Structure 1
């Protein structure tokens, strides 16, 4: 659970903006579990601009071809300090620091033929110049038949870890699926974390972008990564949110601690300040669409990465992000799964596992249609008692919910009746599914 600079600042985020978001998170969101701030792409590019990438960017490197923060944007990185001072400041707030990297080795390192630390090889020796990212000009892939390729990743990750980085978002890894690159990066993290200086503190490996990612890769992903995207970039468009229903229905049954399918960032609050797409704006998703997004991400147990600028995001969005019952569903539930899909109706269920939700039954009733509707569901189809009178709470509104006798000639069976808004959701928690009302 954290914040990522991409949706609001694109390639151009500054140290001051990262710290402002970290300070806001520590004060207003840490209590609810939000604990990570991530500096996204091109923190090493001094001429980065909003809305795209420069050709042949003059990326800043050390003498071994490893990216270092652009000092004009991250002034505390001067004199070779790297992200160390920023990590110290973030850690002092009780938070963790994440950074983005591209797959492979910088093209500029290859042009300069810089040495690979600890080897007799150079960047030209280890680069695979035929392997390039289709949308970003920064790097070449690595030739993993050459031992210097692993050594380069080892040195890059060792430097990030020495700075105090807690999460690495490795991009251009999954589409197409670069199994050798992923395994090499995971190996580099394992080696760096084992160093005495790290003290055993783990590093999260997050893989992107996830376009057309297949569950056939699940064993390899679980072995090498902590979290992985299951889609291309998601923005504040209803069609993007709606498309995630199918993907998360496919991935949710496989969720487990330490190996999480990631439905992508939350394009909520104030986004587009200097981003890749669109102008400075509040999220274009309606309130109901935002509640749908958050409910789907939590019932499917996706990681949560907020994309909007926290200090300038409206208080209502912050309240949604720190909603106690929603976070309880995310952190303390199991068996989240889609149990019904008929036309515009999608229903998910999950079971509470601890705390106040121990033994609870969650029912998320989504309506993806363009007009509001009334949904009637047999109680038995969502794991509720078949006798009318089972009680629960609709978590977004706080309203009491009670199952009622089904309509028709047989009224002994219970049904759940809910009014659901367009593109909206009703999230019901039945704390004691076996109980019934007394009237």
Structure 2
């Protein structure tokens, strides 16, 4: 859904820790969802014919084979009517056989089905023009258990929960979405059908700080387009920027900068590729919003490009981050890929003129020679010893995959969790990157050095840091430019704990987690194994 509230997420920069991604409500997915959503192309003018035609086209176009699996029915499917018991009633002229019939049709194509509701009393169609009357009562508030159980019984595999009603009523987003998460968990317990849970709160109440514990994906901004508008690259870039919360993301839990506008009228083929490059480097959900039944060959080729999709769907689940900006608007983003010595890189030119942008191996954590491949050109560019430079057109991006050798640690060693057997990993050298558990490999982000000033350093000049000088339980442990402050000083104790000198709290694997992506925080020392570490020698 589109929504026009002004974003406040960009005004708030304080880092707070995400909840542990352990909610029973979150479906057990391991990669960003891929699929299609009805809103951008049809708004509220949807019925079974529209949905069936697009499901057919997803199969016929090759999108299904490329990984697009969800067919998501957005706002406009429901008139807001309920029976005497409060159960949702459906217009059978629009949906013959009810909603279970449309999910059966979608499933018959080897696809999965998604549905839409709102956290408040009314959905967005009540407040804004959507191509159908402003039906009241199209939200789930007051019926959470009833509605989400109904969705599950109808056969839906994915549910998007918008925030128009919640916003209008001034609800607390964390409380409302947690209650919804609990309702989904109860529904799943009854039906055995987990549903992907998409929080669509638009970023105003910083869902990246709490949604990872209750949902699979969470919107980080308003919509890229409003209904009836043509897409603009400025909006794409704004949503991309608003989704930069890399420490919140891990396998099964994703920042969502909104559904794709690739293939919509007024967006060029080059803009489509740039848009998809940014979403892929982010590991963002790939939810198409064009008409699969009516798209050009170049749009189809872009959406189904297997190398772009592989970058987006990489099993590490990392979000790429900016590593350099040698001149204003000439940016390099890096995403660490699974395996050794593998990176995805986006060279993004935000300026009004073509310019040469350089990716240097030293900033990517690589050493020696590395092979470069241009994803959109489908061409190997050769091997290079220190970096790769190419001209990038104004307002466009180049998407690369680079394969080389992870840089040898400069005297560093791993910090290994006793309970997990995994290493403390800073997946990017960007300030604010939250340290996580990852399989131990020879990566620069796992090579720690104990400095004389009681600092634990990585990437040569980044220090282990208690975010925001926090001293409370749950404070995120990140990396930051070394500055000599007390929140960057640590004591490695004989009992295997690592304590922050400012807080006197222990380095802790959240929730006693042992999986890749488990975030490290500060917590009161308790002697448990998730606070036991093997650290580099002094």
Which of 255, 260, 263 in structure 1 is aligned with 2:257? 263
**Residue of structure 1 aligned with 2:199, choices 207, 220, 230:** 207
SS of structure 2 residue aligned to 1:312: coil
1:89 is matched with 105
Match of 1:30 among 41, 64, 83: 64
Structure 2 residue 175 is matched with structure 1 residue 180: yes
- Aligned positions, number: 355
Q: Tell me the secondary structure at the aligned position of residue 276 of structure 2.
A: helix
Q: 1:141: Cα distance to partner?
A: 7.8
Paired residues of 2:221 and 2:243 also in contact (CA < 8 A): no
Q: How much does 1:321 deviate?
A: 1.2
1:100-134 Cα offsets, whole Å, 9 max, x none, are 11223469xxxxxxxxxxxxxxxxxxxxxxxx986
Whole-angstrom CA distance in 2 between matches of 1:142 and 1:391: 52
Q: TM-score, normalised by structure 2?
A: 0.61
User: How far is 1:344 from its partner?
Assistant: 1.1
Is 1:39 the counterpart of 2:73? The answer is: yes
Q: How big is the shift at 1:333? A: 5.3
Say whether 1:351 aligns with 2:372. no
Answer yes or no: is 1:378 the counterpart of 2:360: yes
Counterpart in the other structure of 1:49: none
CA distance in 1 between counterparts of 2:155 and 2:178 reads 22
Contact kept? 1:213, 1:230, Cα under 8 Å: no
Following the alignment from structure 2 to structure 1, what is the Cα–Cα distance between the partners of residues 140 and 117? 14
Q: Cα gap change, 1:422/1:67 in structure 2, threshold over 3 Å: closer, same or farther?
A: farther
Deviation at 1:76, TM superposition (A): 2.9
Change (3 A) 1:376 1:220: closer
Find 2:289's aligned residue among 307, 310, 314: 307
Q: Is the 8 A contact 2:239 2:258 kept in 1?
A: no
Q: What is aligned with 2:375?
A: 395
**Separation in 2 of the partners of 1:392 and 1:141?**
49
Q: Which residue in 2 is equivalent to 1:425?
A: 397
The DSSP-based 3-state class of the residue aligned with 1:268 is: coil
What residue is the counterpart of 2:279 in the other structure?
297
Q: Does 1:415 align with 2:417?
A: no
Deviation of the 1:178 alpha carbon: 2.0
Could you list the per-position Cα deviations for residues 290-325 of structure 1 after superposition, in whole angstroms to 9, with x for gaps in the alignment?
212111111111111100111111121111111111
Q: Is the alpha carbon distance of 1:375 and 1:23 closer, same or farther for their aligned partners in structure 2, counting shifts above 3 Å? A: same
Secondary structure in 2 aligned to 1:365? Answer: strand
Match of 1:338 in 2: 322
Q: How many Å apart are 1:71 and its aligned residue? A: 2.4
Measured in 1, the distance between the counterparts of 2:342 and 2:357 equals 22
| CA 1:299–1:142: 2 relative to 1, 3 Å | closer
CA distance in 2, matches of 1:31, 1:294: 18
Verify: 1:70 aligned to 2:65, yes or no: no
User: Which structure 2 residue ranges, 5 or more long, are not aligned?
Assistant: 1-33, 129-133, 226-230, 408-538
Aligned counterpart, 2:242 = 247
TM-score normalised by the chain length of structure 1: 0.74
CA RMSD in angstroms comes to: 2.7
Q: Residue in 2 aligned with 1:279?
A: none
Report the counterpart of residue 117 of structure 1 in structure 2: none
Aligned partners of 2:152 and 2:193 also within 8 Å:
no
Specify the alignment match of 1:56 in structure 2.
Answer: none
